[in-house]
């Protein structure tokens, strides 16, 4: 199949074609605009699902690779490939975009909204698939533009401030990364005589002196750390999240934060294994701070959306911990947790959006007693919340547990501190739930409408995946495993790191 | 039949799913009947599995069933599977048995509640989680059940969530339990790091390889989990508040089953505990102190359920005293008898509350014996059982614990003995206040009681229930003062009381069968008490005397009024040693201050302030630099010239 049909190229191209088609449609037919946009997004989803089924579970390397020389003189090519680490991020992207296109209310210019969203999808998919540094950087930057316009155009009161902050913050990171990319490529050329942006070649050759590699790693890492975001570079996130329209928040949290953690895996660990290992304590520490600090700050938020945003800081901290713990379980848990966080935080943002549509406020103090008038709404919120808290049987637990147990094997004390995050998550979410849903509804809260059918349809796939991944994560884990194993072996090969036998499973 | 073990949790799970989908259509009471049927089914299967297992020779009574691989990652492989052995089957039997009775009771008790089907949704989900907990073949699946019962406890404590106290109590239960779970999780990490497995048979079979330090660490971390779940010092604070939940929940979750999960876990890992004598001593000490501490509080509570709640904390303390003394069978034995009599007492209390139209203050009760014959008769059996009067069930299990404690440490034994006296005292006080003496509710109903002002009701479920339009309407009942008469409960509620009363009366006969039955799990060593028969009988006599003295004191105060009641109910005990106030000032207030400081100073001012500060600086700098861009070519030319000169000068300087 991979020979005959350029599957991955299609995945990148379909949404942007959709965006172009939508751009040609009449501005006032909102139904048509959404229908067409959704059609493209659903076709994309079906393709990602097909990709998942075609994907060979036992293999760690890149599959469906398609490569075409693009700019020969610079060694730049259109190279796409998917492995166990990117596979489910692709599927997650496929799942979330149709939902944000069909789902939330869009109060103006549906055409622009849908078109930007589809362009954004191309950017996200491109980042996850690109195996050429130049191509990667192109998609990385491409993602910024639609998000800038989505927040600026469809956001709430302080959207201009938020979007500017978001944009500038990310640009600083990008600038550093661009310098890093070019330096890496030219140094590699100097060492090997081969001018190429090909990620696999660069990673395999490991031609850079380790002292230089440390600086290059940091240049990449700065960009990723902003995107994740890691403490203390996180303050753009609550602003951007809160001011973004619901769909924007869902994508921002669900997909775009993962660009950072994915970047650490694909370009941090893979390109600079030795440097990544030597800086691991720093990133582990920042990850743990993120977990604890994010949770503490979340507790006190008065705006429900800000609370969810800070919970992301904590959750992403777990992922960073898993990545830099460098154990099979931790890395695999981290990859899984990227997907989990996309599902549960995405769902939370949808729900908060629904609350805002009804009540025109996100202030926790102005809500209350909603469970009495909207039990189904409350039930769905509760389930998603418990997934976010990491209740076993739901998806969040599996990822969190794997991260913690894996990190415990390699970096015991970081894992111990991080585990307190499990307590804190219960505190801030349950307290928020109590204030919003428990008690007796008064005033406008007493007329809070129950979930509409449309909203139920919107939440159903997310809820189903939350339960499915909690009960039977095996098909996903099986596909992630080989790639993670190869990555750990790669790090071991190029650094002093050795994974304990318990984690690798050699002990048996 | 053994292969049908998966059905034991699957039936309540099916009930949960069916009720989730169709509960509202089934309604009251069909939803309740469906849930109860599932529990009875699970009990029947459990009995079948039990007999199947019995058919095997004693050393062959282990059976493992794996359903599917849950988390297979590298060296970590966890199956969803079941470990059938005497311990898990014992647990499954009493969870399904007592559970079925309480489901049945709830059909009557919850009748008329507007969220009736939802109650059984939660109840079945709870039963499923609890059964996963006890039947699981690995630490991780036990943890799944462990967290599941915690979540259900949260749902059910906050069942009447319109009441702020109920919502807060639910949250408190969950969060406090999570503190314990922290320990449980770390224990699992350590176990995996040490053994490369989380499977019970792998780990416990190789427990002997454990170095002393690791064994102690694992034991203590698991104990932290148990302290949270089983409400021991200092994490017991959630359990008294959990009484905000409907009474059947208090009986099932917060007396008979969930709170004993910690004890179960300790017994499950007994091969590890045996390697950690220091940990055992700590467990025994915490247990004994908790038992005593909670018993003192129970002596001064006026809420009928609060007394039972503190009593439960206290009795759980006994179980940990047993565990810490190495008397694992005694712990399980007391767990089982406690499930009988405490479930009975809670359900009896529920029946009283029901009959009294949602009154929970014992000071407004009295003389109910004649009006509630079944309730009072069965309650009295429960009272004698918990008080430790022979030959009722509680006597045997408590006696066994005290004998073992005596061998472990005389001081711990003495604490246990004093607690036994207190137990008999506060339970007698309860029985006398509720079922004997003046019919104070008559005065109370007229609103003329002089005592009423003094005895503040701790909370008023009536406030919420009357809010539910379909619920019992106590306001209307109470409104008609003249007609107010406590009434006996319907058969669905009375029948479980009778069954439990029989069990509470004769449960003691399980003593030696249970010992033989559990031997393959806990080893032979543990029940070889060194003391001679004389010592044992002596200890039994002393315990019984303690119980009788307790009853006698309560009798003289609460029935003969030899002393003023208020003189034996000091404020410090009524306020539970001010534990909640202490937690509020020592833990809550500083945490809140820290969180506020982090959110509104560190994050908003320091970190975000720095970011915005840099932004402002760049903008200001850009503003200055902008002036350089004058647009006049001569200025640029000048700059270029100056730069060129400078560069030239630099180059010259370097070469020379």
- What residue of A is the nearest CA neighbor of B612? A165
Helices (H), B56-138: 86-109, 116-135
Angstrom CA distances, B218 to B72, B194, B208, stand at 23, 10, 13
C-alpha to C-alpha distance for A190 and A476, rounded to whole angstroms: 41
Contact B143 A404 (CB under 8 A): no
Chain position carrying tokens 């989380």: B198
DSSP letter, residue A2: T
Size of interface A-B (CB pairs under 8 A): 161
Give the per-residue SS3 of A181-230: HHHHHHHHHHHHCCCCCEHHHHHHHCCCCHHHHHHHHHHHHHHHHHHCCC
3-state DSSP call for residue B200? Answer: helix
- Residue B515: per-residue pLDDT: 87
Q: How confident is the model at residue B459 (pLDDT cuts 50, 70, 90)?
A: very low
3-state DSSP call for residue A130? Answer: strand
- Residue B528: per-residue pLDDT: 57
- Residue B470: per-residue pLDDT: 38
Q: How far is CA B142 from the centre of its chain?
A: 15
Read off the pLDDT of residues B208-218 as tens digits, 9 standing for 90 and up: 889 999 999 99
- Residue A4: per-residue pLDDT: 59
Q: Is A475 on the interface with B (CB under 8 A)?
A: no
- Residue B654: per-residue pLDDT: 75
- Residue B452: per-residue pLDDT: 39
Q: How far is CA B245 from the centre of its chain?
A: 12
How far A236 CA lies from chain B's nearest CA (Å)? Answer: 8
- Mean pLDDT, chain B, rounded, equals 88
When pLDDT is averaged across residues B165-178 and rounded to a whole number, the result is 94
* B428-467 residues touching A, CB cutoff 8 A: 467
Task: Judge whether A252 and A305 are in contact, CB under 8 Å.
Answer: no
Q: How confident is the model at residue B60 (pLDDT cuts 50, 70, 90)?
A: confident
Chain position carrying tokens 């970190």: B607
Q: Is A392 on the interface with B (CB under 8 A)?
A: yes
Q: How confident is the model at residue B523 (pLDDT cuts 50, 70, 90)?
A: confident
| pTM flag (> 0.90) | yes
C-alpha to C-alpha distance for B516 and B526, rounded to whole angstroms: 12
What percent of chain B lies above the pLDDT cut of 70? 92
Q: With 60 as the cut, is the pLDDT of residue B468 above it?
A: no
Read off the pLDDT of residues B303-328 as tens digits, 9 standing for 90 and up: 999 999 999 999 999 999 999 999 99
Phi, psi of A367 (to 5 degrees): -105, 170
A48-52, B94-98, B575-579: segment of lowest average pLDDT: B575-579
- Residue A503: per-residue pLDDT: 80
Q: With 80 as the cut, is the pLDDT of residue B449 above it?
A: no
Task: List chain B residues with CB under 8 Å of A477.
Answer: 71-73
Task: List chain A residues with CB under 8 Å of B118.
Answer: 375
DSSP letter, residue A428: H
Q: Which of B151, B158, B193 faces A386 most closely, judged by CB atoms?
A: B151
Task: List chain B residues with CB under 8 Å of A427.
Answer: 175
- Residue A103: per-residue pLDDT: 85
Is B646 buried (19+), middle (13-18) or exposed (0-12) by CB count in 10 A? exposed
Q: With 80 as the cut, is the pLDDT of residue B235 above it?
A: yes
* B62-121 residues touching A, CB cutoff 8 A: 68-77, 118
Q: How close are the terminal C-alpha atoms of chain A, in Å?
A: 38
In chain A, which stretches have pLDDT less than 70? 1-4, 506-508
Strands A76-82 and A63-71 turn out to be: antiparallel
- Residue B454: per-residue pLDDT: 37
DSSP letter, residue B488: P
Task: List chain B residues with CB under 8 Å of A426.
Answer: 174-175, 178
Task: List chain B residues with CB under 8 Å of A440.
Answer: 162, 467
A32-41, A203-212, B504-513, B612-621: segment of lowest average pLDDT: B612-621
Angle at B627 (CA atoms; ends B623, B632), nearest 5 degrees: 150
C-alpha to C-alpha distance for A193 and A202, rounded to whole angstroms: 12
Read off the pLDDT of residues A218-232 as tens digits, 9 standing for 90 and up: 999 999 999 999 989
């Amino acid at each position: 199949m991979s020979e005959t049909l350029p599957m991955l190229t299609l995945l990148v191209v379909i949404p942007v074609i959709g965006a172009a088609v939508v751009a040609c449609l009449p501005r006032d037919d909102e139904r048509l605009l959404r229908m067409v946009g959704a059609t493209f997004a659903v076709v994309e989803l079906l393709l990602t699902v097909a990709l998942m089924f075609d994907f060979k579970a036992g293999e760690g390397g890149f599959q469906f690779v398609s490569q075409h020389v693009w700019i020969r003189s610079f060694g730049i090519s259109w190279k796409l490939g998917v492995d166990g680490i990117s596979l489910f991020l692709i599927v997650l992207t496929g799942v979330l975009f149709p939902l944000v296109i069909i789902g939330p209310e869009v109060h103006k210019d549906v055409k622009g909204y849908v078109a930007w969203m589809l362009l954004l999808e191309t950017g996200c998919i491109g980042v996850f698939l690109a195996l050429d540094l130049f191509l990667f950087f192109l998609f990385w930057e491409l993602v910024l533009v639609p998000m800038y316009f989505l927040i600026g155009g469809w956001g709430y009161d302080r959207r201009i401030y938020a979007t500017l902050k978001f944009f500038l913050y990310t640009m600083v990171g990008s600038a550093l990364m661009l310098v890093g990319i070019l330096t890496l490529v030219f140094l590699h050329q100097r060492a090997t005589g081969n001018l190429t942006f090909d990620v696999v070649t660069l990673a395999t050759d490991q031609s850079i002196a380790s002292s230089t590699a440390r600086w290059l790693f940091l240049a990449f890492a700065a960009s990723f750390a902003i995107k994740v975001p890691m403490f203390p570079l996180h303050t753009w996130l609550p602003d951007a999240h809160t001011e973004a329209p619901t769909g924007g928040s869902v994508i921002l949290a669900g997909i775009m934060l993962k660009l950072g953690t994915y970047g650490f895996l694909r370009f941090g660990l893979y390109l600079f294994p030795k440097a990544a290992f030597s800086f691991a304590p720093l990133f582990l520490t920042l990850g743990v701070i993120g977990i604890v600090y994010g949770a503490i700050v979340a507790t006190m938020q008065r705006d429900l959306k800000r609370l969810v945003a800070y919970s992301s800081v904590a959750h992403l901290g777990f992922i960073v911990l898993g990545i830099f713990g460098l154990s099979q379980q931790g890395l695999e848990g981290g990859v899984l947790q990227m997907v989990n966080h996309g599902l549960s935080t995405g769902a939370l943002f949808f729900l908060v959006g629904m609350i805002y549509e009804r009540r025109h406020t996100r202030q926790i103090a102005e809500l209350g007693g909603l469970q009495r008038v909207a039990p189904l709404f409350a039930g769905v919120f509760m389930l998603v919340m418990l997934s976010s808290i990491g209740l076993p049987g739901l998806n969040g637990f599996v990822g969190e547990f794997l991260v913690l147990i894996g990190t415990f094997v390699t970096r015991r004390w970081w894992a111990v501190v991080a585990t307190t995050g499990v307590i804190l998550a219960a505190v801030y979410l349950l307290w928020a739930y109590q204030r919003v849903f428990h008690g007796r509804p008064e005033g406008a809260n007493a007329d809070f409408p129950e979930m509409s059918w449309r909203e139920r349809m919107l939440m159903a796939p997310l809820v189903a995946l939350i339960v499915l991944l909690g009960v039977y994560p095996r098909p996903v884990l099986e596909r992630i495993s080989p790639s993670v194993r190869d990555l750990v072996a790669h790090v071991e090969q190029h650094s002093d790191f050795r994974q304990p036998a318990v984690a690798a499973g050699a002990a048996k | 039949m053994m292969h049908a073990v998966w059905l034991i949790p699957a039936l309540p799970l099916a009930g949960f799913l069916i009720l989730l989908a169709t509960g509202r259509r089934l309604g009251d009471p069909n939803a309740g009947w469906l849930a109860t049927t599932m529990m009875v089914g699970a009990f029947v299967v459990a009995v079948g599995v039990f007999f199947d297992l019995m058919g095997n020779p004693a050393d062959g009574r282990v059976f493992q069933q794996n359903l599917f691989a849950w988390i297979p990652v590298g060296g970590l492989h966890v199956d969803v599977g079941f470990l059938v052995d005497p311990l898990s089957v014992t647990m499954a039997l009493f969870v399904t048995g007592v559970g079925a009775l309480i489901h049945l009771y709830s059909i009557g008790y919850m009748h008329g509640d507007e969220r009736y089907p939802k109650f059984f949704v939660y109840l079945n989900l709870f039963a499923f989680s609890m059964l996963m907990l006890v039947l699981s073949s690995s630490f991780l699946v036990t943890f799944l059940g462990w967290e599941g019962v915690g979540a259900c406890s949260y749902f059910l404590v906050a069942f009447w969530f319109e009441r702020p106290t109920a919502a807060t109590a639910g949250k408190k239960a969950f969060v406090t339990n999570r503190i314990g779970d922290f320990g449980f999780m770390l224990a699992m990490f350590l176990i995996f790091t040490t053994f490369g497995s989380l499977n019970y048979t792998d780990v416990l079979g190789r427990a002997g390889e454990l170095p002393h330090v690791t064994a102690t660490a694992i034991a203590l971390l698991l104990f932290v989990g148990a302290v949270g779940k089983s409400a021991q010092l200092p994490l017991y604070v959630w359990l008294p508040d959990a009484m905000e939940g409907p009474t059947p929940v208090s009986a099932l979750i917060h007396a008979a089953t969930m709170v004993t999960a910690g004890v179960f876990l300790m017994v499950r890992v007994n091969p590890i505990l045996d390697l950690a004598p220091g940990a055992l001593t700590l467990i025994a000490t915490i247990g004994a102190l908790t038992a005593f501490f909670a018993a003192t509080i129970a002596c001064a509570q006026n809420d009928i359920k609060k007394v039972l709640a503190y009593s439960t904390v206290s009795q759980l303390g006994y179980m940990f005293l047993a565990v810490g003394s190495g008397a694992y069978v005694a712990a399980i034995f007391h767990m089982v008898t406690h499930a009988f009599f405490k479930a009975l007492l809670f359900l009896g209390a529920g029946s009283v509350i029901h009959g009294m139209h949602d009154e929970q203050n014992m000071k407004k009760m009295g003389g109910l014996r004649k009006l509630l014959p079944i309730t009072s008769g069965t309650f009295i059996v429960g009272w004698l059982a918990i008080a430790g009067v022979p030959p009722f069930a509680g006597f045997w299990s408590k006696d066994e614990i005290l004998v073992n404690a005596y061998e472990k440490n005389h001081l711990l034994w003495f604490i246990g003995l004093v607690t036994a006296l207190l137990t008999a005292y506060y339970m007698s006080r309860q029985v006398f206040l509720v079922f004997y003496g003046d019919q104070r509710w008559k005065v109370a109903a007229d609103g003329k009681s002089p005592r009423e002002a003094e005895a503040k009701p701790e909370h008023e479920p009536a406030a919420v229930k009357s809010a539910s339009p379909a619920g019992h309407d106590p306001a209307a009942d109470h409104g008609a003062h003249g007609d107010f008469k406590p009434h006996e409960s319907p058969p669905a509620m009375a029948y479980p009381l009778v069954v439990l009363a029989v069990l509470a009366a004769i449960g003691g006969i399980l003593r030696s069968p249970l010992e033989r039955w559990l031997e393959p799990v806990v080893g032979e060593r543990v029940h070889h008490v060194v003391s001679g028969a004389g010592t044992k009988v002596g200890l039994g006599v002393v315990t019984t005397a303690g119980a009788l003295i307790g009853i006698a004191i309560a009798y003289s105060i609460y029935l003969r009024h030899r002393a003023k009641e208020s003189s034996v109910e000091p404020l410090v005990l009524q306020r539970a040693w001010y534990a909640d106030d202490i937690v509020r000032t020592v833990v809550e207030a500083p945490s809140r201050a820290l969180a506020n400081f982090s959110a509104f100073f560190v994050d908003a001012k320091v970190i975000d302030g720095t970011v915005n500060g840099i932004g402002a600086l760049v903008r200001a700098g850009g503003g200055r630099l902008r002036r350089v861009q004058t647009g006049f070519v001569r200025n640029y030319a000048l700059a270029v010239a100056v730069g060129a000169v400078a560069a030239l000068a630099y180059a010259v300087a370097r070469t020379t």
